[in-house]
Structure 1
């Protein structure tokens, strides 16, 4: 065995003084262009900011934090790709800055940062690599062209001894192979925009992919499909309005890159959870151009959605970047200050990885915290968005190593006058030790509630041993969130998300079918909690097809009648399928794109109509979207409690009933004396409802609770029916035994 120091000495000896072998340097580097100096400029704001100079000269101020760097060169590119290098000689509080006259919006640029090459201590400076400005507001480069040739790696990828491969510096110029930042000037003050500002309790979230939602939409002009402009088109907005959702949650729209292993298989990162530019709208989703035009196009999309009363929430990935681990490319932060931006192990050559993506941003570092919060404020104040869903949020909440709910990141968000006012959603886990934190985030936050997902899936596939957990999930998950002033809307309830089966696939497949991903089935979860209703995949047997549609109605009804904030996935309301692929992150094709022709099929059209009707019902009735947890105590003069549970015998459940297997469960929601006041300051009064969930496979009687709970009940929803038009309006007397269809939800209004 040789020591790390001996390996380092051996590698440096073979590579030569520059740290790179002859194969990596001979004939590879172009002559350096002449360098000029910039005016001093200002250290703030970070990034490229177009403005008049002190003497009225038009130009752009550039500022880059690069704490450990020895020198920084700004690289400007003209339309022909010719490079001009400008030395930034001013250094203020670790920020290199300069003002360059004559640089106008649309100019492309990057940085070369000089410093030591010593991977054993975490130092990976390499001026041969052109680096993207972390604060670039636009990135010029298209979706397909951003590949990862050997030149974009800071180390020599083909070094024969793999155990030291990442320690041998590659001096080939990466500039021809990487996208460039773009100088953007947009002084839009949003004076004509009206943000919807929907209260959390009234929210219905719709998770969608900008490209996938619009790519096949027949009502959107072909040249706009797959773009921000396509999502802003009236045909796209009309569907959202008819459905009744209050917010779209966009899968990542920060500029992202593709992983090498996908590119080698002819695939790409479709979902976008591989960010490289936290201020730049992903260029490939722009119909109008990529030299700054994408910024205005994104803003116009936000305005169109706001005008329709729909909020815009971004799924953001601040936990890691596209630079992966020690064997990953050098695109931005790794070359600016590797040790300053990333969490490193005790062996500083290696990266701490709490994300499964090779690296983890070191959010405890002030410059990293500033990068994230500056980015968040930018998207709120200058791009008009209304909130964020934080991917692997537990990784952001780690202080040194452990998840800490008093961490700098959470503390800064809580006191920020801009960010504390927008919607904040945590994916409350990461893959590190102690990373599962469902229910633990502080009161400002809401959370994806995967406990809800598991309980509802298990109930409808007949796998719950009892109904204790289901009762908590249907009524707002008070066991998780009733602390510290948190409310039921802290729980974002979902049955499906982008990651996993679609709703249709959940009732059509018992195992994943990810062959198209090319990973021999190693990718994607094996814990799907799905049931295929008797046949794996698509079938022509109408009995199974009808059962699947019924199960979809059951799952959607359960979701939209539960207390908390419901989240739908785009296309679930009309039977979208990914053909059993439960990890379609690399499928930019018909597997992932929404198939709008489904709306022409009667069964799927009926599913859309039911979903829209349930959302409208939720909007009309505050008892279905409570702002406070149920107490279980009487609130009205007649002694009725705000929440009661009933067995199929029409009797209130006892403690023993909660521990026993049950195919049917009745949930009574009282609309009397709902906590809070309406807009006029009057007490909130609403109808009362009885929701009956029956997971048994055969019809069964359910006795409707008698007085004082009700005298009569009117059927509002009956999922045993394909078409709902015939079911609503039927009235039953209290105490009667109604026949529940096998596997069905019955919603009744108290008369």
Structure 2
């Protein structure tokens, strides 16, 4: 094995590759004729070696070749005799100048940013840091290059060849889309009908038991938390924890190997790829789309004190935003670094990654974590950013669903509704409005306090959030789908926990409950905790369980209220796996490091959870069957070739809502009449009683048709369709406290009156 060189020497002594790559602009490692083409971008480097290994063993024999370059910043070459399955990496030579953000150190093996598969693992020892560290892995200042060789302590890329084609996706229209956010491992780790050896894996997610559950529930798309290969942060490994969610990317092209079945891992990196692609095919065959949560805003390498495993070693000053005064990485993400999306080569990597997952791996869409960072030119966010525009113009990507998390931690970092029109964005205003109205304000109302801003904001969210998205060019057409409506996401309380906890309970994260938001906008209905779990608040546990059990019906009703609102709102609904049956995280609102029962979906359901599931399933199918519940255009109160406006609002007395009532905090009983004619559907009348008192409501007249009471959130289970109650406009209905009723019109009012 060749000698390990110091960063201070003039350059490598390994042989040069005999010729350049067939196509130097095609980055990464690719099988070509008798060997492998290699190309990597490193414009500040003085020399680059490609290192091939003769096995997957940590101490495998290494053979190095110097690449040709740089040609427009690219180092490249063709090496004969290597084939699919060969492990490889780079050693990169260049200046050690931390003040300029340059920390080249050829003692360290760098993972190819374009590697399609990986082997091995990163050992967080001093060997994987470019700079010298103390015994606790903190940097020794001033920063000096570390002399340890990292090859046996880090991951390697693996050369891959094209595999079998993935079954084409269903291309579900936006207006029909219902998103189910899930974690590959957490979804099936405890799912009984999935064979134990497949639980928590790509294969387990595609197992018939999982697929049939999802299709029966009625969702159309699964949005997976990150599946790109990941690396745990050092501060988590110190505490014996891991980055369960996966927002710590190690590779933008390789799938996370630990989510593959044991058989696939034993079969090698190609088998891991095939398991992922097989999962996508099986989901597509069942009519389900797959959306990936992607983290193109930062990487696992953290700030300048973090490890060097890939981009930092290859060209730290190009890949990351660097403060020119100090050489430190700039941080718009809260994670120590920010990829520099003002750099064309970084955008090229992101776009190549997206195309690879869309074309070769069959993915149907992407959710951009901290998407504002991707849209920053130098400082400020711009919807005209080249990366964002490229996503909309690329012939492959423009056919995919594009979703942005519209914030980061930098100045001007809140951009809900600010992305280009083909992007949809997570609507945090929707989340906060529904929580405020149905939980925070309902809690104060139940104590006899009129607080809040009236129903104006709730009505705006139900009608498509035109205040946020109406300024865009497509505002008169398919505009509402741009709002991803959600009450919960992976980050925060589950929907059930919103009804059981007002304070975070993150002790298991070992940060003394300092992590996670304090702005939960939740309501525990009077007592903190659940009737089962670690956070009972009374010394007398049996008494506490009895008290908490008595609260269960009201809490379940609040959960049904939230789910009902979600399914009748204009926009694209999204909810978290298990919300449909009241899954708990025991009050943990930041479970990113909990690879445990806190995060895994518990499928051992109590009777009330089966009932909640049946209610959620009914509401999802009601939305899918009735376009009036999912309007594609903003609802503005205007009539469109109809005697009724697209939406109109009424008081409990059946009269039109007056202007001053919209901002009256005591106005918590209202009726929403939505015309079905523009949608080729029946009319929807939704009655909301958000007070703590039983209330009589006189039904809005509408167009003079009959109504069928299709759903009432006081019901613990859906009613038999043959036993539903019929009403006519003007008739009175008694609404229980904190409840919603959904009525659908029918034309046979005359026959109803005769009976």
Asked if TM exceeds 0.5, the reply is yes
CA distance 1:507–1:381, change in 2 (3 Å):
same
- Could you say what secondary structure the match of 2:91 adopts? strand
Q: Does 1:477 align with 2:448?
A: no
C-alpha distance in structure 2 between counterparts of 1:149 and 1:166, whole Å: 19
Contact 1:215 1:593 in 2 (8 A): yes
Unaligned 5+ residue runs, structure 2? Answer: 442-451, 532-544, 747-755
1:405-432 CA-partner distances (Å, limit 9, x unpaired): 1112122222211112210001011100
Contact 1:462 1:695 in 2 (8 A): no
Contact 2:229 2:255 in 1 (8 A): yes
CA distance 1:230–1:273, change in 2 (3 Å):
same
Match for residue 719 of structure 1 among 713, 717, 724:
713
Partner residue of 2:553?
546
Match for residue 78 of structure 2 among 87, 96, 99:
99
Q: Does 1:507 align with 2:499?
A: yes
Q: Kindly report which structure 2 residues correspond to 1:468-617, keeping only aligned pairs within 5 A, or say none.
A: 468-483=456-471, 484-486=473-475, 487-539=479-531, 540=545, 541=547, 542-598=549-605, 601-617=606-622
What is the CA-CA distance between 1:104 and the residue it aligns to?
1.3
Partner residue of 2:690?
695
Partner residue of 1:73?
49
Partner residue of 1:14?
none
What is the CA-CA distance between 1:586 and the residue it aligns to?
0.3
Partner residue of 1:677?
none
Partner residue of 1:409?
387
CA distance 1:396–1:114, change in 2 (3 Å):
same
1:41-89 CA-partner distances (Å, limit 9, x unpaired): 231311010121xxxxx21111111111111111111224222212213
Match for residue 46 of structure 1 among 23, 27, 38:
27
- Could you say what secondary structure the match of 1:292 adopts? helix
What is the CA-CA distance between 1:33 and the residue it aligns to?
10
- Could you say what secondary structure the match of 2:245 adopts? coil
Contact 1:158 1:165 in 2 (8 A): no
What is the CA-CA distance between 1:177 and the residue it aligns to?
1.0
C-alpha distance in structure 1 between counterparts of 2:376 and 2:135, whole Å: 35
Q: Does 1:442 align with 2:434?
A: no
C-alpha distance in structure 2 between counterparts of 1:647 and 1:154, whole Å: 67
Partner residue of 1:643?
647
CA distance 1:161–1:147, change in 2 (3 Å):
closer
What is the CA-CA distance between 1:39 and the residue it aligns to?
3.4
Q: Does 1:236 align with 2:216?
A: no
Q: Does 1:206 align with 2:214?
A: no
C-alpha distance in structure 1 between counterparts of 2:293 and 2:617, whole Å: 24
Q: Does 1:128 align with 2:107?
A: yes
C-alpha distance in structure 1 between counterparts of 2:410 and 2:468, whole Å: 21
Partner residue of 2:445?
none
Question: What RMSD in Å do the two structures reach over aligned CA positions?
Answer: 2.0
Partner residue of 1:26?
none
Contact 2:122 2:154 in 1 (8 A): yes
C-alpha distance in structure 2 between counterparts of 1:726 and 1:700, whole Å: 25
Q: Which moved more, 1:729-738 or 1:497-506?
A: 729-738
Q: Does 1:366 align with 2:344?
A: yes
- Could you say what secondary structure the match of 2:30 adopts? strand
C-alpha distance in structure 2 between counterparts of 1:743 and 1:38, whole Å: 76
Match for residue 154 of structure 1 among 130, 133, 141:
130
Partner residue of 1:13?
none
Q: How many pairs align?
A: 701
1:19-43 CA-partner distances (Å, limit 9, x unpaired): 89xxxxxxxxxxx996564532231
Q: Which moved more, 1:561-570 or 1:217-226?
A: 217-226
What is the CA-CA distance between 1:698 and the residue it aligns to?
2.5
1:248-277 CA-partner distances (Å, limit 9, x unpaired): 001000111100000000001000011120
Partner residue of 2:750?
none
Q: Does 1:633 align with 2:638?
A: yes
C-alpha distance in structure 2 between counterparts of 1:691 and 1:38, whole Å: 73
Contact 2:91 2:107 in 1 (8 A): yes
What is the CA-CA distance between 1:307 and the residue it aligns to?
0.4
Contact 2:163 2:274 in 1 (8 A): no
Contact 1:256 1:277 in 2 (8 A): yes
1:695-730 CA-partner distances (Å, limit 9, x unpaired): 222321111112x43343211011101122268611
1:627-665 CA-partner distances (Å, limit 9, x unpaired): 21223122345x211100112221111111101122222
CA distance 1:166–1:236, change in 2 (3 Å):
farther
Partner residue of 2:449?
none
What is the CA-CA distance between 1:99 and the residue it aligns to?
1.3
C-alpha distance in structure 1 between counterparts of 2:137 and 2:215, whole Å: 59
- Could you say what secondary structure the match of 2:148 adopts? coil
Partner residue of 1:4?
none
Contact 2:614 2:717 in 1 (8 A): no
TM-score normalised over the length of structure 2: 0.90
- Could you say what secondary structure the match of 1:480 adopts? helix
TM-score normalised over the length of structure 1: 0.91
C-alpha distance in structure 2 between counterparts of 1:160 and 1:267, whole Å: 17
CA distance 1:546–1:511, change in 2 (3 Å):
same
C-alpha distance in structure 2 between counterparts of 1:694 and 1:560, whole Å: 17
